[in-house]
Chains A and B, each alone.
Chain A
Amino acid sequence: MTTDLVAAPHKRQAHGLKRAIERFPFLPALIILVALLVLNGVYQPRSVSFVGITGLVKTYLALMLLAVAQTYVIYAGDIDLSAGAIVSLVNVTIITAMTALGGDTGAVIAGLGIGLAVGLACGVVNGIVVAALRLQAIVATFATSIFFTGLALYVMPVAGTPAPTAFWRTYGGRILDIPFVLYAVIILAVLLVVLARTKLAVRLLSVGDDQQAAYQSGLPVTRIRLQGYALCGLFAALAAFCITGDTASGDPLVGGKMTLNSVAAVVLGGTALAGGFGTVTGSVIGALIIGLIGSLVFFVGTPSEWQNLVQGVAILMALMAGILVGRRARR
């Protein structure tokens, strides 16, 4: 069948860019990230040094992991507003557990195991409430977030219990002269690549694309959504490990403000909030963007009372830039 030959070359060129964005939806975010790195370098040259980047990663690895956690849920068109509360609960649980078990290496490892179990349990609870009981994700996970925070406050009513030295020394330390967090980043990268190849990733995206269609196609929609929440809980636990390593103490409210940051990171990364389309890589980049905006606002010397406002405007601008680039390319 012949199509319009006159319009073809122009169309193909636009198609190329469109294709690139389709395959790598995080491209606009990556451009913003590079721009922010350059700006950070201009205002504070040391911030783009090896030490500076390591510090950035150390601080924002938790948000990167939580953004990844959030992504799997958003893939399926759901949302998890309790992700931050899970981080808090895991944070106080592992510190309490590690301290109770004596604080040596064995206790730390046992504590991490318990933390993963708690994260998974929270995810499953969310999954049951949203997918099996069919409550609205946004309200139901808001409710469970209050519930999880309540549990965290029960486990550790007041912030401040220090983490075992063995734990935070490892997180902030070096192995073979390479910072531990860089190993963590490499392991995370491998993990994300592996997870992207699972059936679950494709199924989550298919459910998010059109839940009715997925159901009619014979996919076990309820189970898939539940698995998404479970995976989210596990990654929230990993995020809690990082924040515990970074702050070296327990705080029953530490994760609360991270929830919406994680959602923002996912959207910045080019993932559709409605589900069905996106990448975890984008979410990691999105988390770094939020981190870099924070440090840039600081480096430019914004007076402290203006920092929130400037940061908010900067995130809005990053969102707009990403959307404009994406829209251009799609046309």
Chain B
Amino acid sequence: MARLVAKAVSKTYGATKALRRGDLEVEAGEVHVLIGSNGSGKSTLCKIVAGSVRPDGGQLLLEGRPMTVSGPEAARKLGIGIFYQELSLAAHRSVAENILLSDLPGGLFVNRGALNAKAQRYIDLFQGVTGDDFHADATVETLRPDQRQLVEIMKALSSEAPVLIFDEPTSALDRAQVDRFFEILRRLKDDGRSIVFISHRMDEIFALGDRVTVIRDGETVATKRIAETDPAEVIRLMVGGEETLVAAEPHQPTVVAATAKTVLAVSGLSGAGFRDVSFNVAAGEILGLGGLHGQGQSTVLRALFGAPSPTSGSVQLNGATLNPSSPRATIGRGLAYVSGDRRRDGVISGRPILENVTPIHAVKQRLALASPSALRAKAKPALEALRTKFATFNHPISSLSGGNQQKIVIARWLIDRPDVLLLDDPTKGIDLSAKTDLFQLIRKLAAEGMAIVLYSSEDAELLGNADRILVFNGGRITRELTGEQRTRFNLYQAAYEAGEAA
């Protein structure tokens, strides 16, 4: 008998059907992977099980008995713990307080000693991979994104629940952290816990999962044993069969002619988190930045964009000196920056799609007044180039799935073409078909002569798209991979061997 069963669970928000028919069966002692493109309803299904979203229909069974979950508090009491993709942390509270927030030790008063001792048990699980300044008393606000994600993981683990749900728990983690986390999950599985695991990373799914349930457009499509399937089949189930896939093999590097002119020349760039970074990007080239997570790749891209500006070094754009003093200055000179952190850097939440596509155009053209129809005419081709799905320009951007939101954010740079496109892990948390559209566009832009710098936390994306890859470690470029060297093996090796040297 399955420990947790969801039968035909549904949820509607206004006009959007977030979940049409969610079915899920999770056994004791298994890691059950839930996969589906963004907006397919995975997170909604998980939140329904965890009590933070109330279903409109369907049935939930726990240990064979029907259960109604009145809220997250009730779910926790029933023995369901969850890791939220968007994290559920109190930024001003300490790590220990966050880990045990819903179950602070003590009666009327907080027993600080017991709190820290208990929290330390969960922190110790990640000993050696938490990074600097991570301790029970640290304020969550002061932590890096990967460290916050670890806190959320510890918080979920601290529920000691028989059913544990992890909604994309690894998106900000580096490889060592992921490896440790998987070790812990395997141990929990052997203890008989049921683990629901959502991830967009195929390698993780096949490394960890026992079974996989695929959700497409709010409906459960199939459940397969991992041992009896392969990535290609899972992807076919996910996208419905016909879509083209992100190339799994390294693409043929565009032969950038020796005469191709250098668009961006960076030399001796230093700033907070990176030192002495130099590279050139030619017109039509896609330059990849790789290595373990958080080794300075993002900060270099942000520094080039002027957010914040680098402390020393020089940048030449089309042969002229560029002073990246602020994003406004660099945008004016023809730079574009797309961040993977849409919520922080990209989306203007609560505003219509049109307003989200046109701000850069307005800045570049110094628009004081503009007619919506003229703007719509300009926005349309940019959105079509990305195959963006949206109802009307007046819908708020929040009505779109993560992948389509990111397309909107990218489209805003395409109305007036930039010379250099800086992509900072642009596909974080977006689904495979949106990724496919995105990379097709990026290659097309490169073919048309744009210089592109791409940082991706997914090696496959770098290998599949970049003409050259610079491997970062400890804020420096430690290796360059070109041509035939661009293999997964070399990339792993460069990231790790450099890590040991530093």
Contacts and interface: CB of A to CB of B under 8 A. Distances in A.
Interface residues of A, number: 28
A6 B108 contact: no
Nearest to A206: B90
Contact of B52 (A2, A216, A277): A216
Given A199-B110, A210-B89, A276-B92, A216 B84 contact: yes
Contacts of A3: 132, 273, 474-475
A215 B54 CA distance: 13
Interface string A272-299: 0000110000000000000000000000
Contact of B102 (A209, A219, A276): A219
B489 interface: no
A206 B97 contact: yes
Contacts of A209: 90-93
Given A4-B272, A199-B109, A217 B92 contact: no
Q: How large is the interface on B (under 10, 10 to 19, 20 to 34, 35 or more residues)?
A: 35 or more
A2 B133 CA distance: 12
Contact of B88 (A22, A198, A203, A210): A210
A206 B139 contact: no
Interface stretch (B68-76, B345-353, B424-432): B68-76
B490 to A, nearest CB: 22
A192 to B, nearest CB: 14
A209 B139 CA distance: 12
B51 to A, nearest CB: 8
Contact of B92 (A197, A205, A218, A220): A205
Interface in B81-137: 82, 84, 87-93, 97, 101-102, 104, 106, 108-110, 112, 131-132
Nearest to A194: B109
Given A210-B88, A215-B52, A202 B102 contact: no
A190 B474 CA distance: 49
Contacts of B311: 7
A277 B93 CA distance: 9
A281 to B, nearest CB: 16
B166 interface: no
B92 A216 contact: no
Nearest to A5: B275
Nearest to A219: B102
Given A4-B273, A202-B97, A218 B90 contact: no
Interface in A211-234: 212-220
Contact of A199 (B50, B104, B502): B104
B193 interface: no
B54 to A, nearest CB: 12
A210 B132 contact: no
A158 B155 CA distance: 57
A7 B110 contact: no
Given A1-B131, A2-B502, A205-B92, A197 B101 contact: no
Contact of B72 (A4, A215, A276): A215
Contacts of A213: 84, 87-90
A186 to B, nearest CB: 20
B472 interface: no
Nearest to A277: B92
B7 to A, nearest CB: 24
A249 B97 CA distance: 46
A209 B275 CA distance: 35
A253 B108 CA distance: 36
A217 B50 CA distance: 10
Contacts of A220: 73
A214 B90 CA distance: 8
B337 interface: no
B502 A210 contact: no
A214 B88 CA distance: 7
B274 A4 contact: yes
Nearest to A22: B139
A198 B475 contact: no
Contacts of A198: 108-110
A328 to B, nearest CB: 17
Contacts of B71: 215, 218
B396 to A, nearest CB: 18
Contacts of B110: 197-199, 202
Most buried by B among A22, A202, A212, A216: A216
B97 A199 contact: no
A199 B101 contact: no
Nearest to B139: A22
Contacts of B112: 197
A133 B486 CA distance: 60
Interface of B: 50, 52, 71-73, 75-76, 82, 84, 87-93, 97, 101-102, 104, 106, 108-110, 112, 131-132, 139, 155, 270, 272-275, 294, 311, 474-475, 499, 502
7 contacts: A3-B273, A6-B275, A202-B104, A203-B104, A205-B93, A213-B88, A213-B89
